[in-house]
Protein backbone atom coordinates (compact mmCIF):
# COMPACT_ATOMS: atom_id res chain seq x y z
CA UNK A 1 0.00 0.00 0.00
CA UNK A 2 1.03 3.59 -0.41
CA UNK A 3 1.77 6.27 2.19
CA UNK A 4 3.76 4.03 4.50
CA UNK A 5 0.76 1.99 5.64
CA UNK A 6 1.38 -1.73 6.09
CA UNK A 7 -0.71 -4.29 4.24
CA UNK A 8 -0.79 -6.35 7.43
CA UNK A 9 -4.06 -6.29 9.37
CA UNK A 10 -3.89 -4.31 12.58
CA UNK A 11 -6.87 -6.24 13.95
CA UNK A 12 -5.12 -9.57 13.32
CA UNK A 13 -1.97 -8.20 14.93
CA UNK A 14 -3.96 -7.05 17.98
CA UNK A 15 -5.67 -10.43 18.28
CA UNK A 16 -2.33 -12.24 18.09
CA UNK A 17 -0.93 -9.88 20.73
CA UNK A 18 -3.83 -10.30 23.13
CA UNK A 19 -4.65 -13.99 22.63
CA UNK A 20 -1.14 -15.39 22.14
CA UNK A 21 0.65 -12.94 24.42
CA UNK A 22 3.88 -14.72 25.40
CA UNK A 23 4.66 -16.21 22.00
CA UNK A 24 5.51 -13.11 19.96
CA UNK A 25 3.27 -14.23 17.09
CA UNK A 26 2.18 -10.64 16.42
CA UNK A 27 5.80 -9.64 15.73
CA UNK A 28 6.39 -12.65 13.48
CA UNK A 29 3.14 -11.81 11.63
CA UNK A 30 4.46 -8.36 10.68
CA UNK A 31 7.82 -9.80 9.60
CA UNK A 32 9.87 -9.07 12.72
CA UNK A 33 10.91 -12.69 13.26
CA UNK A 34 14.07 -11.93 15.24
CA UNK A 35 12.31 -9.80 17.83
CA UNK A 36 9.42 -12.27 17.79
CA UNK A 37 11.81 -14.99 18.94
CA UNK A 38 13.22 -12.68 21.62
CA UNK A 39 9.67 -11.91 22.70
CA UNK A 40 9.05 -15.65 23.01
CA UNK A 41 12.25 -16.33 24.96
CA UNK A 42 11.56 -13.52 27.45
CA UNK A 43 7.78 -14.10 27.59
CA UNK A 44 7.13 -10.62 26.33
CA UNK A 45 9.89 -9.02 28.34
CA UNK A 46 8.13 -10.17 31.53
CA UNK A 47 5.04 -8.30 30.33
CA UNK A 48 6.72 -4.94 29.80
CA UNK A 49 7.44 -5.43 26.10
CA UNK A 50 3.89 -6.74 25.66
CA UNK A 51 2.44 -3.58 27.20
CA UNK A 52 4.65 -1.35 25.05
CA UNK A 53 3.56 -3.18 21.88
CA UNK A 54 -0.10 -2.90 22.91
CA UNK A 55 0.23 0.86 23.43
CA UNK A 56 2.15 1.34 20.17
CA UNK A 57 -0.47 -0.62 18.23
CA UNK A 58 -3.39 1.26 19.80
CA UNK A 59 -1.91 4.71 19.14
CA UNK A 60 -0.89 3.83 15.58
CA UNK A 61 2.89 3.73 16.03
CA UNK A 62 3.52 -0.02 15.63
CA UNK A 63 5.45 -0.80 12.43
CA UNK A 64 6.11 -3.88 10.32
CA UNK A 65 9.52 -5.14 9.20
CA UNK A 66 9.59 -2.60 6.34
CA UNK A 67 8.94 0.32 8.68
CA UNK A 68 5.34 0.78 7.50
CA UNK A 69 2.70 1.60 10.09
CA UNK A 70 0.29 -1.18 11.08
CA UNK A 71 -3.16 0.43 11.41
CA UNK A 72 -6.10 -0.91 13.40
CA UNK A 73 -8.54 0.62 10.93
CA UNK A 74 -8.51 1.65 7.28
Q: Give pLDDT, residue 1.
A: 43
pLDDT band at 19 (very low <50, low <70, confident <90, very high): very high
**pLDDT of 21:** 83
- Encode pLDDT of 24-68 as tens digits: 999 999 999 999 999 999 988 888 999 999 999 999 999 999 999
Give the model's confidence band at 3: pLDDT under 50 very low, under 70 low, under 90 confident, else very high.
low
How high is the pLDDT of residue 10? 95
35 phi-psi bin (left φ>0, alpha ψ -120 to 50, beta other): alpha
* pLDDT score, position 61: 94
d(CA 27, CA 45): 13
pLDDT value, residue 9: 94
Amino acid sequence: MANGISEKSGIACLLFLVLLSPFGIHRMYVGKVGTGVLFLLTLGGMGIWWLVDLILLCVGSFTDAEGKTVKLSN
